[in-house]
Structure 1
Amino acid sequence: MSSPHSLRQRSMLLQAIRSFFFNRDYIEVDTPIRLPVLLPEAHIQPFTSDGWFLQTSPELCMKMLLAGGCEQIFQLCHCFRKEESGCYHQTEFTMLEWYHRGWDYTDLMSECEDLFNILASRVSGLNGLNVKGDIVYKGRTISLGKPWSRLSLRDAFVHFADITADEAIAKDRFEEILVEEIEPHLGWERPVFLYDYPVQLASLAKVKDDSPDLAERFELYIGGLELANGFSELVDAAVQRERFVQEMGAIRQLDRDVRMPEQFLQALERLGDTAGIALGVDRVMMLLLGKEKLTEILPIDVRIMQ
């Protein structure tokens, strides 16, 4: 259980996040966490709740709000995913998601830099942080000064792995190699955006106009930790439906129920150019405070109640 001091630190971070977006004219939204249908993602297993699902992300609802006329929105919320708990994972966690119409993924990278530097300045008196905006994590100093590094995913495989990204995908070893051979090297001098994923890993990202084999997707790494996943959003409902059909097939092979989110697909047609990102707030807190386990920064570790 967190001390009053730790709770105040967490409160300061949440206030700083909200202030950042309010100052940029974002609308904070608060969408349902229990839904009758989710976005089909085979690698994410949801919790059921009396025949419905606990959200794994607020993305579905937030994009429907964007389609309804909102231009820029953010949300701080709890999400739920069935995965093994550990130093960097919890089945219930705090997510920050934000979306901006008229932007692409490069705009989000710049806004991430601004957000982290504001957080650093607002909580500069907390453990592991100094007034210059550097952080100390696992005994190493990481500069948050702009600009941050940008490394294409394919170049990352060339630098740190013994096979290419395309070969890793073909051999069904992509996630294994990314986690074991590449991620530990990323973001130790300054944060790194790993960007331009092969189209097979596009998820909900749009394909690059000048490189149809790549998707406009990035992930943010600091100190070897993956903190955020951002896209130029795919807004072509027909293409998104095709991707969902593939995901649904994989989900059914795992003996899980799934159905097409039709209202979501209808909303995509009204979105236009949009960029969106999901950031793990608990990991950010852990990093800023120089902690090495999520349980060290959570208000209550519910496992003690078992």
Structure 2
Amino acid sequence: MLFDRHAAKQITRSFFDNQGFLEIDSPILIKNFPEEFIKPILTINGQELRTSPEFYLKKILSVNYNKIYELGHVFRNEIEDNLHLTEFTMLEWYRSSATLDDLIQDCELLFSKLAPTIFYKKFEKKTLNDLWKTIVDIDLELSLEQNNLPEKAFDKGITTLKYDTFNNVFSLIMSTIIEPQIGLSTPCVVMNWPNQFSSFAKLNSSNPLWASRFEIYFNGVELANAFQELSNPIEQEKRLLYTMKKQKKSSFLDFNFIKELSKIDSTSGISVGFDRLIMLISKINNLQNLLKINKK
């Protein structure tokens, strides 16, 4: 298994190097940055272990490096299970003057190089709303407009609490019902996500209820998360301040980072759970088993 990971890393680096990407090594220990849905691991001096290299990479983008990537360890303060580890390997890359379709093409090409016998078809594309309509018979867009998802889910017998929060009900239905049914034969790109789950993404130009974001699933497992990156400093500051208010705790707001966002317009970025990808390629069903040290 160690040889498989080593080979996968070599193929990945070669894939990006051959396209003129610059590999970055961003700091692991950072100041506490406001994030609503990810819990960081805090250190005794008030800093945190990075949950993603995103903010440092965007600073690099702002000084005219147009194609960059990083393959390294990140940390999340979450319960470990078959698909979640406190420490794991993330592959993240950004393209200036690029669309989300460019990132989908990147993934199709990279995945096919890593496992040509598994990833030999074009990825499926579906909107999140279409999946909800098909699988649970709920029009998510209408529920967003009417702000009544908990009631809809309760009326259909999916949940037992009629007055729960939108976030709780959405996450429950996604993790237990919808995600296990996505990408069972070939990877599926799930387009358009509710804007409240996309703090660093541009809003969809045709409907601001949705963010310009996609996730990739294979065998019911989320592998990738991509944004058309928000480049409006005023809007980004507003979202971060809102997150800090909801968290009711002090966080470091990097105004230099926010100010430089205007320089990364038309940038798309994506993160891939590298361990999960190797796990699925290796036909292993537990991340812990992927990291076991076996004799040669």
**d(CA) in 1 for partners of 2:219 and 2:11?**
22
Deviation per CA, 1:47-86: give whole Å up to 9, x if none.
1122211100000000000001100000011101100001
Contact 2:2 2:293 in 1 (8 A): no
TM-score (norm 1): 0.85
2:168 maps to 1:168? no
Contact 1:101–1:274 (8 Å) recurs in 2: yes
Asked whether the equivalents of residues 95 and 279 of structure 1 are also in contact (C-alpha less than 8 Å), the reply is yes
- Cα distance in structure 2, aligned partners of 1:20 and 1:299: 27
1:101 corresponds to 2:82: no
- Aligned match of 1:9: 4
Query: In 2, Cα distance between the equivalents of 1:112 and 1:297?
Result: 22
Q: Which runs of 5+ in 2 are unaligned?
A: 151-164
State the match for 2:154 in structure 1.
Answer: none
Aligned match for 2:268, one of 275, 278, 290? 275
2:286 alignment counterpart: 293
Matches within 5 A, 1:1-150: 6-38=1-33, 40-49=34-43, 50-121=45-116, 133-134=117-118, 144-150=119-125
For structure 1, list consecutive stretches of 5 or more residues without a partner in the other structure. Answer: 1-5, 122-132, 135-143, 302-306
Shift of 1:218: 0.4
Q: 1:43 to 1:283 in 2, by over 3 A?
A: same
Cα shift at 1:163: 3.0
Q: 1:208 aligns with which of 204, 207, 225?
A: 204
Q: Let me know the Cα RMSD of the aligned residues.
A: 1.6
Match of 2:177 among 172, 181, 204: 181
Distance 2:125 2:25 in 1: 32
Partner Cα separation in structure 2 for residue 46 and residue 201 of structure 1: 17
Quote the offset at 1:162 in angstroms.
4.0
Match of 2:251 in 1: 258
Per the TM alignment, residue 247 of structure 1 is displaced from its structure 2 partner at its CA by 1.2
**Partner residue of 1:3?**
none
Instruction: State the Cα distance separating 1:299 from its structure 2 match.
Output: 5.1
3-state DSSP of counterpart to 1:88: coil
- State how far apart, in whole Å, the 2-side matches of 1:237 and 1:70 are: 19
Contact 2:32 2:46 in 1 (8 A): no
Shift of 1:300: 5.7
Q: In 2, Cα distance between the equivalents of 1:214 and 1:194?
A: 12
Tell me the number of residue pairs that the alignment of Structure 1 and Structure 2 aligns.
272
Q: Distance in 2 between matches of 1:189 and 1:235?
A: 36
C-alpha displacement of 1:270: 1.3
Q: Structure 2: which amino acid aligns with 1:19?
A: S
- Give the percent of matched residue pairs that are identical in Structure 1 and Structure 2: 35
